[in-house]
Chain A
Amino acid sequence: MSIPSRRAKDRIVTALLYSLMAAVILLLAGVLAFIVKNGLSALSWDFLTQPPRDAMTRGGIYTPLIGSIQLIAVAMAFAFPVGVLTAVYLVEWARDGLFTRTLRLAVRSLAGVPSVVFGLFGLSFFVVVLGFGASLLSAGLTLGCLVLPVIVGASEAALSAVPRDYRDASYAMGATKWQTIRKVVLPAAFPSILTGAILAVGRVAGETAPIIFTGAAFFTPRVARSLLEPVMALPYHILVLATAGTAIDETRPIQYGTVLVLLVLVLGVTLVGVLFRAKLRMEKRR
């Protein structure tokens, strides 16, 4: 092939790839604009602070909003310590043996388990066998299991990135391994671990399938006051209003409003994580 035609081909492909990226950005902008435009009219202070009324055809989303926050709290209370300690073990202590390899394989497989299968597991284990019933506790723990591999992965990367010098310096001063981990390695890795956890919160907030039969309620008259009560949750509330309500078309404004609030919650949390990570990277580069 002649050189000009090869160059032309190169230009065409480059233009094509630019248009792919442009298409994605347009899509993202279009979707966000559509949701904001339709959801904004439903938003008000009352929408956020009033529970749903009249068979969920009026009122606000106070109960599902608080329910979602409670679910995040339970899930992270379980997944954060367990995930970070698992990563500590894998990075600091694990030798390449059968146990370590099995553990890594298990965590990796866990990351690929479909969310609805987590729901089935939560139903049979937390709800039935442990007897927690369909509750905040069951649903929160199920979400915690789902997000565990995300936290392990992020913490592993964070711990591995702590320079060897830090550890050596600590040992040279006579510290034991555990003292070194606790006082040197974990504090150094903590900002990155936290970033991973923030991104995990974004994931937990939007999940629906694992909670449908482990504790998310169609409707509850009030916010759950104990771990053993069922909760409403924003993503499930959207599903219910959009597919199973008695007045699907009349409640469209509420649906758009709920979608907007969920999106602001998820993307807001995610954005904090992404910005925080960018800041960390800039600091590291200096």
Chain B
Amino acid sequence: MKDQSALKADRLPRALIAAVATSGLAIMLFILFFLLKESLPALRETTLGELMTGAFWYPTAEPAEFGLLPLLMGSVSVTLLTSALALPFSLGLAVFLAEVCPSALREIFKPLLEILGFFPSVVLGFLGMVVLAPWLQERFSLLTGLNLLNASLLMGIMILPIVASLAEDALSSVPRDLRDASYALGATGFETTWRVVLPAALPGILQACLLGVMRAIGETMVVLMASGGAALIPRSVMDPVRPLTSTIAAEMGETPIGSAHYHVLFFAGLLLLIMTLSINVGALWIERRGRKWRT
């Protein structure tokens, strides 16, 4: 009978812990709920079509114009340029760490890379303002060095450690046998990496890239400080931009709670959330496919 009471005594902690564990789910649902609740009133002030295709962002003008297109293009352009600059570099680093680097050196390089990944984004944004911007301005004789290229270079530094370390994990988890078989056929190290290891690790590498892209879309401080902040659709990499994230960060503080501007900024947040959640789902899908494909 003692056993019975001991088992019963287990029920309470189990129920309590299950309840606490639900908070993760609750927070995610609350985020969705509050973003919807605060952003839907925006559609009362303006239409979905105007929000998504309007080319002018004058939120405090009379009458105000809430065109999110330039902000959206700002986010997309920074994300694309960051990916173009940083993803090849990150994958090269991942290949280096997983395939080329002697293991003694790897023990030093990996923590160094990790340290780079812990740089607060506000510090990188600050460097963009005091180092990169003056240099760009002088080198290319621009009106301002705070632009798309500046923000993308810094953002590249931000996502580099993330993508590199995830991709390195993917490469390292490729079984040794595959490499040995390739070497046994007389392939060089590069040929083995390029034709055997990379294809085998492709799902994990794609996932690493997607997570990097997701980070770039959602990153705020770097673009707030280094991208110039002009709500224009960029025509060159030297144009200033104003992505969704920095717009929210810059304007929410001065916006009366409950105003049209407030709701439109929440709508911008909802767009960001939808973009990052879909990338997350995409990454999950690739992971599942990858697992199935391997077995």
Contact = CB atoms under 8 A, between A and B. Distances in A.
Interface of A: 6-7, 9-10, 13-14, 16-18, 20-21, 24-25, 27-28, 31, 34-35, 81-82, 85-86, 88-90, 93, 102-103, 105-110, 112-121, 123-125, 128-129, 145, 148-149, 152, 174, 176-179, 199, 202-203, 205-209, 212-213, 235-236, 238-239, 242-243, 252, 255, 259, 262-263, 266-267, 270-271, 274, 278
Contacts of B29: 106
A266 B24 contact: no
Contact of B24 (A88, A115, A152): A152
B129 A242 contact: yes
Interface in B109-162: 109, 111-116, 118-123, 125-127, 129-131, 157, 160
Contact of B218 (A9, A86, A113, A236): A113
Nearest to A86: B21
Contact of B224 (A35, A118, A239, A266): A239
State the 8 A-B residue pairs at the shortest beta-carbon distance, nearest first: A114-B218, A206-B120, A89-B21, A209-B220, A17-B96, A10-B188, A106-B28, A106-B25
Contacts of A202: 118
Which has the most chain A C-beta neighbours within 10 Å: B25, B214, B272?
B25
Contacts of B115: 28, 267, 270-271, 274
B87 to A, nearest CB: 13
B280 interface: yes
A125 B96 CA distance: 45
B1 to A, nearest CB: 14
B249 to A, nearest CB: 5
A86 B190 contact: no
Interface residues of B, number: 82
A17 B27 contact: no
Given A9-B190, A206-B120, A120 B269 contact: yes
A105 B272 CA distance: 18
Contacts of B20: 81-82, 85-86, 89
Given A13-B190, A106-B24, A120 B120 contact: no
B257 interface: yes
Nearest to B8: A176
B248 interface: yes
A207 B188 contact: no
B273 interface: yes
A205 B123 CA distance: 12
B104 interface: no
B38 A120 contact: yes
14 contacts: A14-B190, A20-B93, A82-B23, A93-B18, A103-B25, A113-B28, A114-B245, A115-B219, A117-B35, A177-B14, A206-B123, A213-B253, A242-B126, A267-B119
B225 interface: yes
Given A121-B34, A124-B37, A125-B34, A89 B249 contact: no
Interface in B235-285: 245, 248-249, 252-253, 257, 265-266, 269, 272-273, 276-277, 279-280, 284
B123 A259 contact: yes
B61 interface: no
A107 B221 contact: no
Nearest to B95: A17
Contacts of B7: 176
Given A114-B245, A238-B122, A243 B18 contact: no
A204 B35 CA distance: 23
Contact of A206 (B28, B118, B214, B224): B118
B218 A116 contact: yes
Given A119-B252, A213-B253, A266 B120 contact: yes
A115 B218 contact: yes
Contacts of B126: 238, 242, 255, 259
B269 A34 contact: no
Contacts of A207: 120
Contact of B277 (A6, A109, A262, A263): A109
